[in-house]
Amino acid sequence: MTDNSILPEDRNPLGRNLLELKRPIVLVGLMGAGKSTIGRRLARDIGLDFVDSDEEIAEAAGCSIPDIFEIYGETIFRDLEKRVILRLLSSEPTVIATGGGAFMNAELRDMIKSNAISVWLRAELEVLLERVSRRNTRPLLEQGDKRAILTRLMNERHPIYSEANLAVDSGEGAHETVVLDIIQRVKAYSGDVS
């Protein structure tokens, strides 16, 4: 049975950090896993700010993620991504949604694991396909068959994502269920909440 006692009916109107976190929560996982959508709801419910690292990267670069990939290439994007996430990790506790490739960088992964609570949002291939097909803003998926690309990315990245502190399934159900699951797992994660 899920303990909803930390969430009042009207969510968290006072904006209090209900988990009294000592460090950020960083959401990792493949594109389409729900990191931004779930991250926003999680942040609202526990009274923290939400930051989407891709939005921060686009702001820093002065252009969209697809434009960064097209104009400067993936290597420059990954360098910018690393610098932005390292800056975000040094801030007050927040909920941070990262791009799908961020956790693949060994140095960045170690920094996330040392300075944050990392949560892998897992989703089945069909769920990911349905979600990523809604928009054409995913540069890696514009290079061929989406199913084949996502399957390859799952095979490459899932073993690395499994190194996250926590893993939560993000399926076709209500986002609020996923948010509550994250909250319960973070509460149970030793040494990270007061």
Report the CATH number that the domain containing residue 92 is assigned in CATH: 3.40.50.300
**What span, in angstroms and rounded, lies between the C-alpha atoms of 50 and 86?**
16
| pLDDT one-digit tens code per residue, 45-61 | 998 999 999 999 999 88
Q: In degrees to the nearest 10, what's the CA dihedral of 111, 84, 141, 66?
A: -170
pLDDT for res 137 = 59
CB 88 within 8 A of CB 94: yes
94 domain-assigned: yes
5 domain-assigned: no
pLDDT for res 9 = 45
2 domain-assigned: no
**What span, in angstroms and rounded, lies between the C-alpha atoms of 73 and 39?**
27
Which of helix, strand or coil describes residue 51?
Answer: strand
> Concatenated DSSP letters for 122-140?
E--HHHHHHHHTT-S--GG
Domain holding 72, by residue range, is 25-188
pLDDT for res 188 = 87
Backbone angles phi, psi at 13, to 5 degrees: -65, -25
Backbone angles phi, psi at 7, to 5 degrees: -110, 110
Give pLDDT < 50 ranges for the chain: 1-10, 13-15, 192-194
Count structural domains, the chain.
Answer: 1
Contacts of 178 (CB under 8 A, 6+ apart): 34, 38, 121, 168, 169, 170
124 domain-assigned: yes
Sheet holding 50-52, edge to edge: 50-52, 95-97, 25-28, 117-122, 166-169
| pLDDT one-digit tens code per residue, 115-131 | 999 999 999 999 988 88
pLDDT for res 63 = 92
4 domain-assigned: no
pLDDT for res 14 = 44
10 domain-assigned: no
82 domain-assigned: yes
Which of helix, strand or coil describes residue 187?
Answer: helix
71 domain-assigned: yes
> Concatenated DSSP letters for 76-118?
HHHHHHHHHHHHHHTSSS-EEE--TTGGGSHHHHHHHHHHSEE
CB 95 within 8 A of CB 146: no
